[in-house]
Amino acid sequence: MINGTHSTLPASIQISMPRPQYLKNFSEITDSVDPSNKSHGKYTHEQIADATNKLNAREYAAFGHFAGDASSQGIKKLAEAYLGYLNQLSPEEQNSLSYAGTKESATALLAGVNAQIAGGKSNPGKKPDQPTSLLIELLNAMTEQFKKNGININSSVSSPTSESQVTISEEARKLASQS
């Protein structure tokens, strides 16, 4: 009885909720190349190659096409697209060898880039959309380390030897000065 009236549904009928639609789990097949995987040896080389190609195409369409833009906005687009892609995967595939732990990393990346963008808005003199390069960051870190050790760039230390001479090309200096 519902609200004083008899229900027309028999007690044995269950109402089914629509199940979420997930993308096909290619990771089960591609991860099977790992000998420790429970599916190892279950698929042929052709099936693995086919699944790998389909997975690569699907990832590129979902988020990979954003990978060429190293600006803050580009990284933000990539991280958002990657998180959206992950949310379309089944829980099993999200926890597969291919994707386990990447959701947390992408979320942290997105939070960091959002903070960088917000910081750039509060500091208009800073260029938040300027592409950053790991190579430039590495060169800056190396330069700082050389300075700490008393080595000047493009000059020798007080007792020059072949090992103490450090030279950075003009092109590398230009890149470093642009950052």
Q: Does 85 have pLDDT greater than 90?
A: yes
Distance CA 54, CA 39 (A): 18
CA-CA-CA-CA dihedral for 23, 27, 28, 32, to nearest 10: 160
- Mean pLDDT of all residues belonging to the chain: 77
The DSSP result for 65-109, as a single string, is: GGTT--SHHHHHHHHHHHHHHHHTS-HHHHTSTTTTTHHHHHHHH
What are the b/e assignments for 17-50, b being 16+ CB within 10 Å?
A: eeeeeeeebbbbbbbbeeeeeeeeeebeeeebee
Two structure tokens written together for 1: 């009885």
Average confidence (pLDDT) over 8-28: 71
Tokens 């089944």: give the residue: 90
- pLDDT-based confidence at residue 70 (cuts at 50, 70, 90): confident
User: What are the backbone dihedrals phi and psi of residue 2, each rounded to the nearest 5 degrees, phi first?
Assistant: -120, 120
Distance CA 93, CA 61 (A): 18
- pLDDT-based confidence at residue 152 (cuts at 50, 70, 90): low
Average confidence (pLDDT) over 47-69: 92
Q: What pLDDT, on a 0 to 100 scale, did the predictor assign at position 156?
A: 38
